[in-house]
């Protein structure tokens, strides 16, 4: 079997400027990978790199020739375990770049077998979860307006970015607009441990499900301090990159938040999920600013999750790719009418 590979960079404006505690973005740069077999089947994957983890679209493009050379050398896309091991041996860092290749391979394999990816994994499409829709940091009135728009669009689960001097005011405003939605918050490492405990005590009055990454990842003792004293469950995001990190966070949080672009591939994502379960943690799958070229694959993990935050494509002004139906944030694997991950060019 022969495989042909290619990649291209795409630049996609966000619908609204998106601000978290670390800064503001107005567009997303992804790199799309395509792997075609000799029967004309094409697997599509995407890299949504994050500079927070040392990756950009340029670094993805720089390493992809070496990664795709591995795919071409192995030649058989069904040898997923072998390929992903060799990808990691070839490029130890750059997880988003490796993940784009992993997604494209899984899409191709499932297409060759004429089945959706969740069926290839043996998962029940009815056991999905609802994705949250994220409200980025802005002035309080604009956040109110964004929340109203999210409700108009049918989203029933919201995630709110915090890390300001008016966090309580923001949540009070959101709850005033949306008293019945499921709600959780993400501080993106912005608080000190003592500040986090104090704020979480006050935030607990607003019926929040959990607080994501309240303190910096480089201070694991701070995360443990918060976990042992917080009035709400704690999710670890920046503190949890791969399955190897799970044992270190197991006594410091309630929820492990995996992201494909952090862990480097779909097989590693599944390992992380099972490792988290073995350590008694719940599991969430989040995302970066990503096209459906990668979000579609993450959606197939939904039957294995407790929470999903897969709104990367929903936050774009326009996505050049379509993926798994997600009306109002509901991940509708049963409504998917295409094989593979379901991704295709609009």
pLDDT-derived band at 231, boundaries 50, 70, 90: very high
Of 114, 139, 170, the last residue of a domain is 114
User: Same domain, yes or no, for 30 and 143?
Assistant: no
User: Same domain, yes or no, for 83 and 172?
Assistant: no
pLDDT at 115: 98
User: Same domain, yes or no, for 244 and 338?
Assistant: yes
Say what percent of the chain tops pLDDT 70.
100
User: Mean pLDDT, the chain, as a whole number?
Assistant: 97
User: Same domain, yes or no, for 270 and 133?
Assistant: yes
**Residue range 320-329: average pLDDT?**
97
pLDDT reading at 326 higher than 90:
yes
Cβ atoms within 10 A of the Cβ of 244, count? 13
User: Same domain, yes or no, for 102 and 185?
Assistant: no
pLDDT at 183: 98
Of 88, 114, 140, the last residue of a domain is 114
pLDDT at 142: 96
Angle between helices 80-90 and 266-278 (to 10 degrees): 100
Q: Each residue of 92-139: pLDDT tens digit?
A: 999 999 999 999 999 999 999 999 999 999 999 999 999 999 999 999
pLDDT reading at 1 higher than 90:
no
Considering its fold, how many domains does the chain have in total?
Answer: 2
Say what percent of the chain tops pLDDT 90.
98
The predicted model scores a pTM of: 0.97
User: Same domain, yes or no, for 275 and 340?
Assistant: yes
For residue 109, give its domain range: 4-114
Angle between helices 220-229 and 193-203 (to 10 degrees): 30
User: Same domain, yes or no, for 21 and 140?
Assistant: no
First CA to last CA across the chain, in angstroms?
29
User: Same domain, yes or no, for 176 and 289?
Assistant: yes
Residue 181 carries which DSSP code?
S
pLDDT at 137: 97
Of 83, 114, 145, the last residue of a domain is 114
pLDDT at 279: 98
User: Same domain, yes or no, for 84 and 129?
Assistant: no
Domain with 55 in it: what CATH number? 3.30.390.10
**Residue range 237-248: average pLDDT?**
98
User: Same domain, yes or no, for 84 and 207?
Assistant: no
Domain with 326 in it: what CATH number? 3.20.20.120
pLDDT-derived band at 21, boundaries 50, 70, 90: confident
Q: Residues 75-107, buried b or exposed e (16+ Cβ, 10 A)?
A: eebeebeebbebbbeebeebbbbbbbbbbbbbb
pLDDT reading at 270 higher than 90:
yes
Q: Specify whether the CB–CB gap between 259 and 240 falls below 8 A.
A: no
Q: Among residues 308, 305, 297, which one has the least CA distance to residue 340?
A: 297
Q: Each residue of 171-219: pLDDT tens digit?
A: 999 999 999 999 999 999 999 999 999 999 999 999 999 999 999 999 9
User: Same domain, yes or no, for 201 and 63?
Assistant: no
User: Same domain, yes or no, for 178 and 262?
Assistant: yes
């Amino acid at each position: 079997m022969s495989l042909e590979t290619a990649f291209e960079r795409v630049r996609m404006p966000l619908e609204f400027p998106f601000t978290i505690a670390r800064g503001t973005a107005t567009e997303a740069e992804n790199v799309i990978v395509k792997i075609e077999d000799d029967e004309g089947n094409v697997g599509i994957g995407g890299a949504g790199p994050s500079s927070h983890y040392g990756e950009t679209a340029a670094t993805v493009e720089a390493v992809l020739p070496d990664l795709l050379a591995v795919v071409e050398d192995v030649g058989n896309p069904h040898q997923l375990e072998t390929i992903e091991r060799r990808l990691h041996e070839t490029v130890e860092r750059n997880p988003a770049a490796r993940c784009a290749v992993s997604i494209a391979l899984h899409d191709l394999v499932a297409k060759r077998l004429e089945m959706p990816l969740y069926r290839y994994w043996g998962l029940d499409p009815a056991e999905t979860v609802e994705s949250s829709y994220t409200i980025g940091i802005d002035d309080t009135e604009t956040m109110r307006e964004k929340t109203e728009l999210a409700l108009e669009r049918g989203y029933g689960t919201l995630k709110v970015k915090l890390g300001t001097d008016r966090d309580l005011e923001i949540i009070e405003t959101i709850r005033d607009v949306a008293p019945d939605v499921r709600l959780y918050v993400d501080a993106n490492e912005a608080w000190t441990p003592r500040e986090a405990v104090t704020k979480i005590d006050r935030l607990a009055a607003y019926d929040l499900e959990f607080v994501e990454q309240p303190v910096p990842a480089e201070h694991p003792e701070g995360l443990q301090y918060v976990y042992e004293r917080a009035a709400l469950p704690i999710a670890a995001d920046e503190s949890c990159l791969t399955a190897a990190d799970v044992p270190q966070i197991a006594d410091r949080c309630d929820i492990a938040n995996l992201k494909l672009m952090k862990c480097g591939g779909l097989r590693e994502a599944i390992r992380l999920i099972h490792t988290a379960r073995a350590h008694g943690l719940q599991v969430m799958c989040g995302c970066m600013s990503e096209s459906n070229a990668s979000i579609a694959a993450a959606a197939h993990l939904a039957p294995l999750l407790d929470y999903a935050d897969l709104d990367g494509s929903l936050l774009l002004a326009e996505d050049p790719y379509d993926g798994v139906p997600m009306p109002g944030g509901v991940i509708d694997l049963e409504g998917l009418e295409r094989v593979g991950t379901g991704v295709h060019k609009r």
